């Protein structure tokens, strides 16, 4: 009875970071709270960030100041839009951080957003953070991810190419109604 090794490393440092994040997802870990970014040339920052990342099963993504496009695209569609950069702008430039954590925020209560016409969905171009109570998102197509951190949020006729993150809070609960369509499973 032994352990079957899985080789995740490749010749490219950034591809290795993507492979590790994908393997964590395949094992069922959830990335609901945050993503941690550290510079590949500052291992002390990455090691110091391990306890922070571990408390939320968050990946530590190693990058240079301008993130590799493949890694950036993967992060935008699969990881939380809540990003902590270890080492600040000296490690990861502000433009990269803005691309990782750029999102539209729906934080008003009892509002509806999206299209009124189910045949013409509104195309969302940024990760969407829903933090208001009683918010309805309807008839929309999301190219990145949706992060729900509000109470009584309703999604109707929503297509998600990224990940649906649901954070019901300490005392919250998840009560899905209907079906959620997307290329990647949602994370709770």
Domain spans, the chain: 13-101, 103-182
Encode pLDDT of 62-72 as tens digits.
888 788 888 88
Q: Take residue 64 and report the two structure tokens written for it.
A: 């240079």
The overall pTM is greater than 0.85: no
- Write down the mean pLDDT value for the chain: 74
Burial class (CB in 10 A: 0-12, 13-18, 19+), 79: buried
Other beta carbons within 10 Å of 153: 19
Q: What is the pLDDT of residue 183?
A: 44
More confident residue, 169 or 132: 132
Encode pLDDT of 122-141 as tens digits.
888 777 888 777 888 888 88
**77 pLDDT higher than 70:** yes
3-state helix, strand, coil in the chain (%, to 5): 25, 25, 50
CB 104 within 8 Å of CB 128: yes
> Which SS3 state, helix, strand or coil, does residue 13 take?
helix
Between CA 32 and CA 137 the distance in angstroms is: 20
């Amino acid at each position: 009875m032994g352990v079957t090794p899985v080789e995740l490393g490749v010749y490219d440092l950034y591809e290795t970071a993507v492979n590790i994040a994908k393997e964590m997802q395949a094992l069922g870990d959830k990335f609901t709270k945050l993503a941690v970014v550290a510079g590949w040339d500052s291992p002390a920052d990455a090691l110091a960030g391990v306890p922070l990342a571990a408390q939320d099963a968050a990946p530590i993504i190693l990058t240079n100041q301008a993130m590799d496009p493949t890694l950036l695209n993967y992060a935008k569609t699969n990881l939380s839009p809540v990003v902590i950069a270890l080492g600040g702008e000296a490690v990861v430039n502000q433009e990269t951080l803005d691309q990782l954590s750029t999102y539209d925020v729906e934080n008003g209560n009892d509002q509806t957003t999206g299209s009124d016409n189910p045949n013409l969905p509104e195309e969302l171009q940024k990760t969407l953070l829903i933090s208001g109570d009683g918010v309805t998102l309807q008839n929309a197509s999301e190219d990145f991810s949706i992060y729900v951190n509000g109470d009584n949020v309703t999604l109707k006729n929503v297509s998600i190419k990224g990940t649906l993150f649901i954070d019901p809070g300490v005392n919250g609960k998840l009560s899905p109604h209907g079906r959620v369509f997307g290329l990647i499973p949602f994370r709770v």
